[in-house]
Amino acid sequence: MDLSTSVKELRLKEITNITYKICRTLDVPLIVEVDMSKKIISKKIAENQQLVVNELMERTQNIYWKIEEKGDDEQMGIFLEELKSRLDSILNNVKLK
C-alpha cells in the first residue's frame, strides 16, 4: 500500500467518522452525504492523476524538442527507441475493461 492510498483511506475514514457523529447526534441517516464525499474524493484523485499524465507528456515533449533543436540524430534515435520501448511495455500491460 503506497502513501497516496493510505491518505485516501484516512480521508474516507475521517469523513465516515464525522458523518457517524452527525447521524448519531441528529438520529438521521446521512448516507447521501457519505456517497457525495466519496464521489468528490474520487473526482479529485482522477483530476490529480490527469495532471500527472499531462506533466509527464509535457516533459517528454520538451526533451524531444531540445534534442530536435540540437540536431543530434544519434541522440534522437536513442531517445525515441528508449521511449518507445518503455511505453510499449507499459501500454501492453494495461488491461482495459
In angstroms, rounded to a whole number, what is the distance separating the alpha carbons of residues 29 and 19?
9
For the chain, the residue count is: 97
Q: Which cell numbers hold the place of 30?
A: 446521512
Kindly give the residue spans of alpha helices, DSSP state H, lying in the chain: 3-26, 31-70, 73-92
pLDDT digits (tens, 9 = 90+) for 64-83: 999 999 998 999 999 999 99
Q: Locate 24 and state its grid cell.
A: 448519531
What pLDDT, on a 0 to 100 scale, did the predictor assign at position 34? 55
Q: State residue 60's pLDDT score.
A: 92
38 close to 12: Cβ distance less than 8 angstroms: yes
Look at residue 91 in the predicted model and tell me its pLDDT.
85
In the structure grid, which three cell numbers stand for residue 77, read together? 534515435
